Amino acid sequence: MRPVPKPSTSRPQLLVSVRDADEASLACAAGADLVDAKDPANGALGALPVDAVRAIVARVGASVTTSAVAGEPDTASALAPCVAAMASTGVDYVKVAVRSEHPDAALAEAAEAAGGRLIGVLFAGDVFGLNIVPRLAAAGFRGAMIDTRSKDGRRLGDLLLPDDLAAFVAACHAHGLLSGLAGSLDVDDIPALAAHAPGYLGFRGGLCRNGDRRNALDPLRVNAALEALRALGRRDAA
Ligand SMILES: O=C[C@H](O)COP(=O)(O)O
């Protein structure tokens, strides 16, 4: 497993969700830190077929950290099988939707199915307490992130207060989890969210043509996001 690359500065990493190997190449060439396999036509956490994820890993896995979403299983018992299928692709990280009502045993089984490379995704509109963070850590998850479920134009910051996001990231740090923030983010969101010091910021729609996550990735937008993050790193280093 390749760890999330450590930049020379403390800036958050840029995660770009891609739907196929060609988009993965584009994201990689544009400088994405993490290339995330996802089907944007199938909801917030739509899983791609495992063969499509294997093709993405084969194309870019040697040069960039990869992740893939395993979906939003309906039941706790479905977590581990979904995760195992995606882990078999050789991706560096698997992401799966988790809920606070999932039993600890099911969370631990899912983490084991990913061989220590599972990231739990929480949705901003759901009610969850911060105690989910130590529970995920204890279950063997590698990270936790917040995303938005309804891709209806509302951004992460429309659903959660800055203090809530800061507390989530701090809890992840305190419990040794990689942290991520996502949810219809735009390049303009980067400075405020980066101030919380998450491990990465995740994008799809904001980096696609016309800001529509079902459209193709726009390399100029990927570059703009990366430049915004690098500028923060330069400012911190100054
Ligand atoms: O993991 C990040 C997501 O792909 C974010 O998608 P979105 O920017 O369209 O909400």
Answer whether residue 5 is part of any domain.
no
- For residue 7, is it within any domain? no
In a domain, 4, yes or no: no
Among the listed residues 54, 95, 196, 221, the single catalytic one is 95
Within-domain flag for 8 = no
Total domains present in the chain: 1
Classify residue 47: in a domain, yes or no. Answer: yes
Nearest atom (ligand 1) to Cα of 202? 2
Alpha carbon of 17 to ligand 1 centroid (Å): 6
Domain for residue 104, yes or no?
Answer: yes
Write out pLDDT tens, residues 63-112. 999 999 998 988 999 999 999 999 999 999 999 999 999 999 999 999 99
188: domain CATH number is 3.20.20.380
Whether 148 maps to a domain, the answer reads yes
Looking at this predicted complex, what is its ipTM?
Answer: 0.98
Which domain, by its residues, includes 57?
Answer: 13-232
What value, to the nearest 5°, has the Cα angle with vertex 17 and ends 15 and 23? 115
| Alpha carbon distance 20, 110 (integer Å) | 25
Q: What is the pLDDT of residue 234?
A: 66
- Quickly state the pLDDT bin for 156 (edges 50, 70, 90): very high
In a domain, 130, yes or no: yes
- Average pLDDT for the chain: 93
| Cα separations in angstroms, 223 against 15, 123, 148, 154 | 12, 27, 23, 23
| Predicted confidence (pLDDT) per residue in 116-131, tens digit | 999 999 999 888 899 9
**Predicted local distance difference test score (pLDDT) of residue 6:** 42
